[in-house]
Amino acid sequence: MAPTITQELELITAGHGGGTGVPARGGDGDRPGGSRRVPVRAYFTLVQLLLAAIVMFFMALTSSYIVRKGLGTDWQQTPLPPILWFNTVILLGSSLTIHLARRRERAAFRPWWTLTILLGLTFLGGQLLAWKQLAAAGMFLDTNPSSSFFYLLTSAHGLHLAGGIFVLFYVVFRDWRRSRISQAAAADLAAIYWHFMDGLWLFLLALLTLGR
C-alpha cells in the first residue's frame, strides 16, 4: 500500500521535508504529457478523506436517530424483515471475495472481482425486497419515525454501495494501460471503500436492532 499520512508525517518530522520529489507513478490522467507529479498515495489520501466525510454524514443521521428515538412519544420500533440477515451474510461474503481477488494471482482476479460485483448487486436486490416486505406490512416512509429512519438509513447506505459497485465495474472495464495508476492500485482503493461500506452496514444494522 502507498505511504499513509502518518508515514508522511514521520518523513517530515525526521527532517526529510515535505513532498518526496518525483514519485514512481503519478498523475490522474487529466493532462497530456508525462510531467504531472501526482503520487499514487494521493489517491489513498483522497479515499481516506472521502470516508471521513461519509462518516460525518452518517454520524449526523445516527445522532438524529438517537435524539428522535429519545423523544419517544410516537416511536414504534419497526420490525426488521428477516431477509436483512441474509443480505448481511451476502455483504460480508463480498468483503471476503474482494479480499481474495486482490490476494490471488492475476488469473484469479477477474472471477473473484466479478463475484464481488454479483454479491453487491444481490445485496441491493435483497434490500429492495426488504422494503417491499415492509411496505406489504403497511410500513412506509411516513408511517412513524422508526420506519422513516429505516428507509432513510438503508437507502443512504444503498446509494453509497451503488457508487461502490460502479467503481468495481470501472476497475474491471477501464483500460488501465493508459492510466497513471495501476489497476492493482485502483483495486486496492476500491477495496478500501468496499470494506468500509461493509462495516458501515454492520454499524447501521446494530443501530436499527439494538436498544429496541
Partner 1 sequence: MVTTAEAGGHVHSAPTGFIRKYIFSLDHKVIGIQYLLLALFSVFLGMALSLLMRIHLAWPAHKLPFFSGGLMTPEQYLALVTMHGSIMVFMVLTTAPQSGFGNYFLPIQIGAEDMAFPTLNMLSFWTTFVSLAVMASAFFVPEGAPISGWTAYPPLSAVGEQSGPGQGAGQTLWVIGVAIFCAASLMGALNFITTTVDLRAKGMSLLRLPLTVWAWFVTAVLGLLAFGVLLAACVLLLLDRTAGTSFFIPGGLVFTDQVLISHKGGSPLLWQHLFWFFGHPEVYIAILPGMGVASHLLSTFARKPVFGYKAMVIAICGIGFLGFCVWGHHMFVSGMSPYSAFAFSLLTMTIGVPSAIKTFNWLGTLWGGRIQFTSAMLFALGFVSLFVTGGLSGLFLAQPTLDLYLHDTYFVVAHFHLIMGVAAIFGIFGAMYFWYPKMFGRMLNEGLGNLHFWLTFVGVYAIFMPMHYLGIAGHERRYADTTGVGYLAKLQPVHVFITIAAIITVAGQLVFLFNFLHSMKSGKKAEVNPWNATTLEWTVSSPPPFDNFGGKHPHVYRGPYEFGVAGHTADFIPQNLEPEKVSEAH
Question: Which spans of this chain sit near partner 1 (rule: CB under 8 A)?
Answer: 5, 8, 12, 17-22, 28-39, 41-42, 45-46, 49-50, 52-61, 63-64, 67-68, 71, 73-75, 141-142, 145, 148, 152, 156, 174-175, 178-179
Of 17 and 138, the one with the shorter C-beta distance to partner 1 is 17
Least CB distance to partner 1 at residue 156 (A) = 8
> How far is the C-alpha of 127 from the C-alpha of 119, rounded, in Å?
12
Cβ atoms 74, 144 nearer than 8 A: yes
Least CB distance to partner 1 at residue 119 (A) = 25
| H/E stretch holding 21 | none
Least CB distance to partner 1 at residue 60 (A) = 4
Helix crossing, 106-136 with 145-173: angle to 10°?
160
Of 54 and 96, the one with the shorter C-beta distance to partner 1 is 54
The one-letter amino acid code at 7 reads Q
Of 42 and 129, the one with the shorter C-beta distance to partner 1 is 42
Of 18 and 211, the one with the shorter C-beta distance to partner 1 is 18
* Backbone angles phi and psi of 192, in degrees to 5: -60, -45
SS3 26: strand
